[in-house]
């Protein structure tokens, strides 16, 4: 992901606070929604979890496919969405493709969704707690 794209996600040091500290502008919301859209599919979320939790930091597509009752082209389609969202990257080695997590993006998402330290939770009056 380029620096400009990261700026859009609100993660540069000099600008753009997280989602919970200030409203997103239209461009930030559009770019961030692409990442959340990639994560909104249960298969993609499972794939990301399998890749992220893999000992050694990477996993071969041949180890991912058997975990699903889906065809290899469908798994590849889901992996493509995760790559386009900047969540994972890959490298072809012979006939196999190996995937790994891009922790910068998951760290950025965590930062965007984390309340600043010491900020109390705000519950509207009359809301159930």
Alpha-carbon gap, residue 59 to 51, rounded angstroms: 6
Tell me the C-alpha distance between 124 and 129, whole Å. 10
Question: 5, 28 in Cβ contact below 8 A?
Answer: no
Higher pLDDT, 10 or 70: 70
* C-beta separation of 81 from 34 below 8 A: no
Helix then strand count (H, E) for the chain reads 6, 3
The per-residue pLDDT for range 103-120, each reduced to its tens digit, is 999 998 888 888 777 666
Instruction: Tell me the pLDDT tens digit for each residue of 33-59.
Output: 999 999 999 999 999 999 999 998 999
Query: Residue 11 pLDDT > 80, yes or no?
Result: no
pLDDT of residue 73: 94
């Amino acid at each position: 992901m380029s620096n400009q794209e990261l700026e859009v996600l609100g993660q540069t040091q000099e600008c753009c606070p997280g989602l919970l500290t200030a409203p997103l502008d239209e461009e930030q919301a559009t770019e961030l929604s692409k990442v959340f859209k990639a994560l909104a599919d249960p298969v993609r979320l499972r794939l990301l979890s399998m890749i992220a939790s893999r000992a050694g930091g990477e996993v071969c597509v041949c180890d991912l496919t058997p975990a699903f009752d889906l065809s290899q082209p469908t798994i590849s389609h889901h992996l493509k969405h995760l790559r386009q969202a900047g969540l994972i990257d890959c490298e072809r080695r012979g006939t196999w493709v190996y995937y790994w997590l891009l922790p910068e993006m998951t760290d950025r998402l965590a930062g965007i969704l984390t309340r600043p330290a010491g900020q109390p939770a705000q519950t509207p009056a009359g809301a159930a707690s």
